[in-house]
Amino acid sequence: MARYTGAECRQCRREKLKLFLKGDRCYSDKCAFERRSFAPGQHGQARVRKVSDYAIQLREKQKVRRIYGMLEGQFRKYFEIAERIKGVTGENLLMLLESRLDNVIYRLGYANSRNQGRQLVRHDHIEVNGRKVNIPSFRVSINDVITLKEKSRKVAAINESLEAVVRRGVPSWLELDKDNYKGTVKALPSRQEITMPIQEQLIVELYSK
């Protein structure tokens, strides 16, 4: 799967918001956004100009796309699926993104970033309902049980991440049994449980043009 391979901190600076793309580093003094919160490039500190409605909508879409580590084509497909589902399109979109396996791995604390969660899935560390799943975009369902393979439970990075999950917490729609390396999907994520500052209606307006 194609993905962004450039400097992750540049994405936070471009969106003028800490997106927590580098795990624990984002909580430390080494975070590049803390030192340089202006946009990257030689014009990053230029005078702020009035922006159009389209520019505001585009920035919101780019921000959400970068939070979940997706390229444009894949993100657009999620929006099209969200349109077909009964309910509010913007909320459906966020629910679909949160239900991705790589995001669930991050939310449970097995990984300290979604990118690391994607790597764990790709490298066959994860089982869903006792079966190996190595597709990061796999959509979890209610009552799914996500576990680490036995051989993966000694990986230092995973255990360090599980110890650090206390800082950000596990969302209420998931349940973590840290001692047994097991997570359970208790419900599908609701809009109220997604705490990142996202205005999904702007994305709907952008794609509806």
Residue 106 lies in a domain: yes
Could you tell me if 61 and 140 lie in one domain?
A: no
Residue 47 has what pLDDT?
57
Could you tell me if 56 and 126 lie in one domain?
A: no
Domain that holds residue 164: 100-188
Could you tell me if 157 and 143 lie in one domain?
A: yes
Could you tell me if 165 and 182 lie in one domain?
A: yes
- Say what the alpha-carbon torsion angle 154, 156, 158, 162 is, to the nearest 10 degrees: 100
Could you tell me if 22 and 89 lie in one domain?
A: yes
Residue 1 lies in a domain: no
Tens-digit pLDDT profile for the chain (209 aa)?
456 555 655 565 555 565 555 555 555 555 555 555 555 554 455 556 677 999 889 989 998 998 898 899 999 999 999 999 999 999 999 999 999 999 999 999 999 889 899 999 999 999 999 999 999 999 999 999 999 999 999 999 899 889 888 777 899 999 999 999 999 999 999 999 888 888 999 999 999 97
Residue 65 lies in a domain: yes
Residue 147 lies in a domain: yes
Query: What CATH number does the domain containing 165 carry?
Result: 3.10.290.10
Could you tell me if 104 and 47 lie in one domain?
A: no
Residue 3 lies in a domain: no
Are the CB atoms for 148 and 110 separated by under 8 Å? yes
Could you tell me if 63 and 49 lie in one domain?
A: yes
Residue 2 lies in a domain: no
Domain count, the chain: 2
DSSP secondary structure of 58-85: HHHHHHHHHHTT--HHHHHHHHHHHHHS
DSSP β-bridge partners for residue 175:
184
Could you tell me if 85 and 135 lie in one domain?
A: no
